[in-house]
Amino acid sequence: MLGEGVTTRRPFCDVLTGRDPADGIVIALPPHTGPVTLTFDLHNRHTYSEELIRTRRAYRHYTATIGVLTADNTLLARAVVQNEFRTPADLVERISGGAGPGGVKAVAPTGSEPISVAVPADEATVSILGEKLTIVRQDGVDTFSAPGRPVAVISNVQVQYRPAPVSRTPARR
């Protein structure tokens, strides 16, 4: 959990890189009949700096790639969010709980890509796991894929499903 949005009160979660679904954001699906639809918003993860804004060196072009996997490591979907950051207006939200002015964190979501994934009926959990992050700056390019590195942020997670029938126990006589 990265934190809660200052204005929207929406929870935001970091997506870490890795190879094992247990290391990702594991979403337990409620008992269901038929397929499930998982939706969420995928954002790039920006480290905000007032100094870089003032000195006009804040430009970043982000490309983050994530995967949605089953517990047995089967890839259900791959998703990408790509955007540019130039000014504070490019942020989706500020995250509360930090030491910055107004109690906000330096890390903030930027860019937004709505994601929808069909999950097979027999799955009880899914995992959202980061694959790679590429950052283009004025002075170079960095690519990150080492396990455990936060590469993206998700919010607005929703699960659409048809509830499983309620099992009834017979009455005793």
Structure-block tokens of residue 68: 């949605």
Q: Is residue 98 very low, low, confident or very high in pLDDT (cuts 50, 70, 90)?
A: confident
**Residue 127 forms part of a structural domain:** yes
Asked if the structure places residue 70 within a domain, the reply is yes
pLDDT tens, residue by residue, 11-54: 999 999 999 999 999 999 999 999 999 999 999 999 999 899 99
- In this structure, are residues 171 and 39 in contact, taking their beta carbons and an 8 Å threshold? no
pLDDT over 80 (residue 171): no
Give residue-wise pLDDT tens across range 55-67.
Answer: 999 999 999 999 9
Domain membership flag for residue 121:
yes
pLDDT score at 164: 81
Give all strands (DSSP E) within the chain, no chain letters: 3-4, 11-16, 25-28, 32-47, 60-70, 75-85, 107-119, 125-137, 140-144, 150-163
50 within domain boundaries:
yes
Question: What pLDDT is recorded for position 172?
Answer: 66
Q: Is residue 148 part of a domain?
A: yes
Within-domain flag for 120: yes
Sign of CA dihedral 77, 66, 107, 137: negative
Task: Answer yes or no: is 169 within a domain.
Answer: no
Q: What is the pLDDT of residues 107-132, one digit of tens each?
A: 999 999 999 999 999 999 999 999 99
| Phi, psi (deg, nearest 5) at residue 60 | -145, 140
- Structural domain that includes position 60: 3-160
Largest CA distance in the chain: 81
pTM listed for this prediction: 0.91
Number of independent structural domains in the chain: 1
Is 172 contained in some domain?
A: no
Identify the H or E element spanning 52: helix 50-54
Q: Are 95 and 107 in contact (CB under 8 A)?
A: yes
